[in-house]
Amino acid sequence: MNKKGQTEIIGLVVIVILFVIIGSFFLVFSSKNKNTETKDVIKTSKFMPAFLEYTPCLDSNVKMEEIIRDCNNDEIAPCQNLNCRDFIRKTLEPSLNEFFGKEYRFSITKTGKGFIEIGNCTGNNMISENYQAGGFGENRFEITLAICKN
């Protein structure tokens, strides 16, 4: 009698365990994270042309693309009486934070050398877009915008 009872208890426990496993599968699959990679790629690829077209000065229509192209070392920006690199950083950061939060890394490279870097990626996963502008030859510069994903 004892053995029969024990066998039945084991059977009951097996059934309960099966229920728990099936329930966990259901919970796991019904709360899957959305994949936002496509959205991030679109946002990144749209941000750079929008930023390069921007005219940041009140009394002239010079575009950011021209300001970056003409900024080499310690020249003064065409407005606000700032060093051109500081001006570019100051203009860029609010827009980058607005669109990408804090998890991004933005860099401008000129003639293969780092020119400006903003942000820091702490995660290993990144969505990165490269963009080239400024014209030809020495004027050409490359922008890289990476969205960090953990």
Q: Which residues bind another protein (CB under 8 A)?
A: 15, 19, 22-23, 25-26, 29-30, 32, 34-35, 38-39, 42-43, 46-47, 49-51, 53-58, 61, 63, 91, 94-95, 98-99
Cβ neighbours, 10 Å, residue 91: 19
Nearer to another protein, 61 or 81 (CB): 61
Considering the complex, what minimum distance in angstroms separates the CB of residue 1 from another protein? 13
Where are the extended beta strands (E) located within the chain? 104-110, 113-119, 125-133, 141-149
Residue 110's beta-bridge partner residues? 113, 141
Under 8 Å between Cβ of 133 and 52: yes
Considering the complex, what minimum distance in angstroms separates the CB of residue 56 from another protein? 5
Separation between Cα atoms, residue 114 and residue 150, nearest integer Å: 25
Nearer to another protein, 61 or 73 (CB): 61
Considering the complex, what minimum distance in angstroms separates the CB of residue 10 from another protein? 15
